[in-house]
Structure 1
């Protein structure tokens, strides 16, 4: 089977990693894979996959024609687009370009608004199948009248969960390299953009410092449009010793093993894949109550209301105290078993294969 993937842009975000996981698995099974990014790469390992980059931002019409040419030339069995702009552009392209099967996949409960979301709503009929990554995200799309109930389904992300399994060697090596020793390590991973709400995280860290909690470091992994603004905020709050920006990295697995606590401060998500990865790396997870979280975390005592820095600080403090409790190991084991059972790469890959072949 010839599969043509289209994504808005590569970076270090969850959607990009999920696409690469899916494409790699399909290629291993002998399928012919082609990938197009509508925008130039923004920092991600893409291995030797057959990836082409367009530039819709600089030259929309030329890129539109180039994309049409690629699809006509390859004549794929399946065209599978990911994220709002790629979904909309691929649907519009189908009005003038034959496609045997078109699948549109959203990756969040909120992928943006404005004209593109309106076009998404009124072009659903151009896709054979529409998906989103969690039950909560699907419900949000239906409730917001972006799509009808019978026209969308949930398919969890393909995550290579075993590759994120805790590694003692990586933990020791990285903690030594960062001179952490007995320091409690907090980590957050994600693009530096509004949806991730890093300002709330910074304020929460400031609250902890004021309360006299000092023996910790908060690492932030990722790059994005708010990079300069967030670093200025850290300086304003005097948190240069507490918060460390690492930029874009390709050693997320090792960094997660180094950490003790993972913190997600997002306003909205689809299915926060990174939480699954953090659980596999045996991190205690602190998160806001955004969409998809309760499908990964069960009865967690470390959840905070969205955009509430005081609750987030309290949840982080609880997690820090929990590190030395007798219940910690049993809790981590239980979480890992739940993740393995519900997010196995093999089961979700088979769901996608069934969709492609249907």
Structure 2
């Protein structure tokens, strides 16, 4: 099969990493793969050299028509069997192109959980209006699927859950420690990630025993730095900025904490577990689907006391047993190999059902 993936960019982020794993896996299984990005980017995820990457270079509103025309020409020239778009504005571009390129099958994949405010945004209104242009719509967790149905973005008979997966070998690390002193956060520093909760949690920890490093960048970076200063936790937290060596970084820590208000299926949790880190996460999106059976690692949303209590209680448990049990769970459910196999079957079914 010939597969054309469309996404905003290949900068650091969960969507980019997942599309990279999907594209490289399909290429290794002898499918033809092309990646189209809406924006210019720095290609901060590692892409196989033999995967063709095309930038539409849509930066301003005036670039929209030119970008759509370019995408139409790409589809007509490359003649893919499947056009697989990721995130809402990629879907809109692809659906306009479908008016002129009807032969490929079109799949739209969302990577997040819907809420009331998001559902009122122009992008999701357009998505709702044009869903008939896609042959299939997917999301990354059952919780996220249900949220799109709840807010009437997608009809329940049009959308399915397909879990993301990662290359477990890239992250695997043997760990034998009975302490959880070194704390890690990896992700965007933005409002929905709720880093204020992380700072409040750090403030409540005993002095001198714990250290937290924050990896990532975003529009809330300076605000969170200032909040850390205002809460007098500068001696407990270090901001490492955007990093491309996350698999290596993770191997140096004991636990990853995720404080988000909302997520789809947080890939960073799966990556941390693959690195044999312990994890604690707020109850958002598909977190409970990753941590099913490990409810003591799931924290009430925006609840500092619950986060603190569950963190301190972990030190009384068999940490090696928890790490190994978590690893076996993601190995059985969230590996790259499983994801590739599931998507290959979906592609085959949708192409054959002409």
Using the size of structure 1 for normalisation, the TM-score is 0.89
Query: Relative to structure 1, is the Cα distance of residues 52 and 192 closer, same or farther in structure 2, using a 3 angstrom cutoff?
Result: farther
Question: Partner of 1:142: helix, strand, or coil?
Answer: helix
The partner residue of 1:56 within 52, 55, 58 is 58
Query: Relative to structure 1, is the Cα distance of residues 330 and 8 closer, same or farther in structure 2, using a 3 angstrom cutoff?
Result: same
| Match of residue 299 from structure 1 | 294
Pair 1:66 & 2:56 matched = no
Contact 2:168–2:336 at 8 Å: present in 1 too?
A: yes
- Displacement of 1:99 after TM fit? 4.1
Contact 2:288–2:298 at 8 Å: present in 1 too?
A: no
Pair 1:164 & 2:171 matched = yes
| Match of residue 217 from structure 1 | 211
Alpha-carbon separation, structure 2, partners of 1:189 and 1:279: 13
The partner residue of 1:315 within 286, 289, 310 is 310
| Match of residue 13 from structure 2 | 13
- Displacement of 1:152 after TM fit? 0.6
Contact 1:56–1:64 at 8 Å: present in 2 too?
A: no
Q: Which piece of structure 1 moves more, 29-38 or 84-93? A: 84-93
Pair 1:287 & 2:284 matched = no
Q: Which runs of 5+ in 2 are unaligned?
A: 350-354
| Match of residue 250 from structure 1 | 244
Q: Which piece of structure 1 moves more, 112-121 or 56-65? A: 56-65
**Post-superposition CA distance 1:253-282 (Å, at most 9, x none):** 111111101101111111111111111211
- Displacement of 1:213 after TM fit? 4.0
Alpha-carbon separation, structure 2, partners of 1:53 and 1:241: 43
RMSD: 2.1
Aligned residues: 340
**Post-superposition CA distance 1:99-152 (Å, at most 9, x none):** 411000001113844111111112111000110011111111111111111101
| Match of residue 138 from structure 2 | 131
Contact 1:272–1:292 at 8 Å: present in 2 too?
A: yes
Contact 2:180–2:254 at 8 Å: present in 1 too?
A: no
Pair 1:277 & 2:271 matched = yes
Pair 1:204 & 2:201 matched = yes
- Displacement of 1:42 after TM fit? 5.7
Q: Which runs of 5+ in 1 are unaligned?
A: 173-181
Alpha-carbon separation, structure 2, partners of 1:144 and 1:63: 30
- Displacement of 1:52 after TM fit? 2.2
Alpha-carbon separation, structure 2, partners of 1:244 and 1:215: 15
Contact 1:21–1:159 at 8 Å: present in 2 too?
A: yes
**Post-superposition CA distance 1:32-80 (Å, at most 9, x none):** 1111111222662333232222332322222222222212221111100
Q: Which piece of structure 1 moves more, 217-226 or 230-239? A: 230-239
The partner residue of 1:189 within 167, 186, 191 is 186
Pair 1:342 & 2:317 matched = no
Question: Partner of 1:233: helix, strand, or coil?
Answer: helix
